[in-house]
Amino acid sequence: MAAGTSSWLDNIAPEIASKLYSDGDAVARFATDYGSIISAAPPAAVLRPSSPEDIAALIRCANGADSPFSVAARGNGHSTHGQAFAPGGVAIDMAELRG
């Protein structure tokens, strides 16, 4: 995790900690949609899950956090009004789950 990230990131479940990316390059593309029409503040981190269980672990962390944070799933970023944004929270890169 990058220095200065939210304290809830420090308490994330160990089974998904290695799948969270918080560097600038990782989060930058999750701050805009596919056509760069809508933009938002970037997420604090991006989860690249390898299974549905990773997503469930993230949701459990979000529900149990002392300070709430947003979680948004993102495929190719084609949402019409920014529904795939998670400013300050965690964006889930669903592309990793192709099967």
Domain contains 67: yes
Q: How far is CA 30 from CA 14, 54, 57, 65, 92, in A?
A: 23, 19, 21, 22, 9
Domain contains 2: no
pLDDT above 50: residue 5: no
How many residues are recorded in the chain?
99
Q: Which has the minimum average pLDDT: 34-38, 61-65, 88-92?
A: 34-38
Q: Domain tally for the chain?
A: 1
Contact 99, 55 (CB under 8 A): no
pTM: 0.81
Q: What is the CATH number of the domain that holds 11?
A: 3.30.43.10
In whole angstroms, what is the distance from residue 20 CA to residue 58 CA?
10
Which positions ≥6 away from 25 have C-beta within 8 Å? none
Domain that holds residue 53: 7-97
Q: Which pLDDT score, from 0 to 100, does residue 59 have?
A: 92
* Average pLDDT of the residues of the chain: 80
pLDDT in tens, 41-78: 888 999 999 999 999 999 998 888 888 788 988 876 55
